[in-house]
Homo-oligomer: A and B are copies of this chain.
Amino acid sequence: MIDPVVLKGFRDSLPSEEIPKKNIERRLEKVFETFGFVPIDTPVLEYESVLLGKGGGETDKQIFHFEDNGGRKVAMRFDLTVPFARFLALHQSELPIPFKRYHIAKAWRGENPQKGRYREFIQCDFDIVGVDSAEADFEILSLMYSSFRTLGISGITFHVASRSLFNDFLDTIGLYEKSIEVLRAVDKLRKIGRDEVRNMLLEITADEEKSDKIISYITSGENKGFLETLDALTALIGKETESSERMRKIHSYLRETGIDSYFVYDPSITRGLDYYTGIVYETFLNDFEKIGSVCSGGRYNNLASLYTKEVLPGVGASIGLDRLLAALTELKSPLVKESRSANVLILYRSEEKELAVKTAFSLREKGLSTDMYLLPEKKIKAQYDYAAKLAIPYALSFRDGKYAVKNLLSRESVEVESIDGVIEICR
């Protein structure tokens, strides 16, 4: 006998989890399609050299990689961004430009599993490639807003900032060269707090005044409106720049479409990843902020540079579906309770098999989700337990040539004469 276990950091998804997950995915796909985004897919396995590109480092140890039977060094994708960059380079001539794609799929990392982190996880990415403009940036923000709205989540705050505006500021105080180190320190603000970040900055800059200025910059969004923050930042820089004007333009779109109240300018948002070059954002659930950002991303202006000389600017975001699901469960969202298998369960006696089979067929032909309890010899309790486990709201049985339809919650029963009568009740 083999022990039927799964690997550490991996999970089965039972119907009670898989039904809401599929429901969420479908709603998101519907929104993406309403915005004119199209789906793509890429292989789970790729050449290790293609996925690791820049080579080595931390990622290397965290990815699942091996030599296949043909001696090729291969790896399982660890995100959807790198395969997308490779995809763009390979297919650019076939794709419409701007290219708006979404991709909902699994990725794998060998990191040590923590609460809410798994070695197998689902990413949901959406990007616009081939254009660098405020309208494209806004398309993504607007799509983020609509995505959460379609999931019934209104208690949401999008924290946006501009990586390039921050670089303008660093330029002003003569620290542009140390941009990447500074950004990495600043990115930790939420985790380690202001004092620790200041210490890190002191080490990087060896300058108290400059470190304080940076702290002042990244905290200047506190208790301020979007434009007020932007004004404070341009005051620190000493002038308007292309980046500040881009952010003003984006804000005007947010205001004109009436969704500006969901967005705050948070200059501490920098995103750790090097490839961001413009707007960046993270998304927090108001009632469950501590779970972290559930949707993050930004603008990058040269995503596929590893694979092609073509410069492909882009902007996009990524929803961590597992984290979002965990949050929705914690928040008792109605979305994660939707795990009903069918609208009606046909309960029949052994001598009613033909009738049950024909009735199920007719109801399904008319589109009613119908189950039949296939063990008619079982006790009635087993039958009701089955309905309860699958959250089936109605039971149908046969009585003197009529259909008896029972509401399994209220325990009330009605008799109807036709299939259409059954459908009317159970739909």
Name A's B-contacting residues (CB within 8 A): 1-8, 10-15, 18-19, 21-22, 26, 29, 33-47, 49-50, 53, 61, 64, 66-70, 72, 74, 76, 86-87, 89-91, 94-98, 100-101, 106, 108, 110, 119-120, 128, 130-131, 133-136, 138-139, 142, 146, 252-253, 256-257, 304, 306-309, 339, 341-342, 345, 353-354, 356-358, 360-361, 364, 367-375, 385-386, 389-390, 392
**Nearest-Cβ distance from residue A131 to partner chain B, whole angstroms:** 5
CB closest residue in chain B, given A120: B43
If A2-B306, A135-B372, A253-B354 touch, whether A39 touches B15 (CB-CB below 8 Å) is: yes
Contact yes or no, A120 B3, CB < 8 A: no
| Extra 12 A-B pairs, beta carbons < 8 Å, given A36-B341, A257-B358 | A13-B42, A14-B94, A18-B41, A36-B390, A45-B108, A61-B69, A98-B374, A131-B374, A131-B375, A135-B353, A139-B374, A256-B357
**Nearest-Cβ distance from residue A67 to partner chain B, whole angstroms:** 8
CB contacts (< 8 Å) of A91 on chain B: these are 12, 14
CB contacts (< 8 Å) of A134 on chain B: these are 353
Q: Which of A21, A37, A345 has the most CB of B within 10 A?
A: A37
CB contacts (< 8 Å) of A42 on chain B: these are 6, 12-13
Report which of B106, B146, B304, B367 forms a contact with A44, defined as CB distance below 8 A: B106
Q: Which of A6, A15, A72, A373 has the most CB of B within 10 A?
A: A15
Copy number in the complex reads 2
A39 CA / B23 CA spacing, docked (Å): 11
Contact yes or no, B364 A43, CB < 8 A: no
Contact yes or no, A389 B96, CB < 8 A: yes
If A110-B68, A354-B252 touch, whether A6 touches B374 (CB-CB below 8 Å) is: no
CB closest residue in chain B, given A54: B2
CB closest residue in chain B, given A92: B4
Q: Which of A69, A252, A373 has the most CB of B within 10 A?
A: A69
CB closest residue in chain B, given A344: B36
A18 CA / B41 CA spacing, docked (Å): 7
CB contacts (< 8 Å) of A98 on chain B: these are 373-375
Contact yes or no, A371 B12, CB < 8 A: no
CB contacts (< 8 Å) of A49 on chain B: these are 2
Report which of B7, B15, B389 forms a contact with A45, defined as CB distance below 8 A: B7
**Nearest-Cβ distance from residue A3 to partner chain B, whole angstroms:** 7
Contact yes or no, A146 B364, CB < 8 A: yes
A304 CA / B67 CA spacing, docked (Å): 31
CB closest residue in chain B, given A103: B18
CB contacts (< 8 Å) of A70 on chain B: these are 8, 110
A140 CA / B13 CA spacing, docked (Å): 23
Contact yes or no, B374 A133, CB < 8 A: yes
A143 CA / B375 CA spacing, docked (Å): 19
Report which of B29, B40, B358 forms a contact with A15, defined as CB distance below 8 A: B40
A415 CA / B173 CA spacing, docked (Å): 55
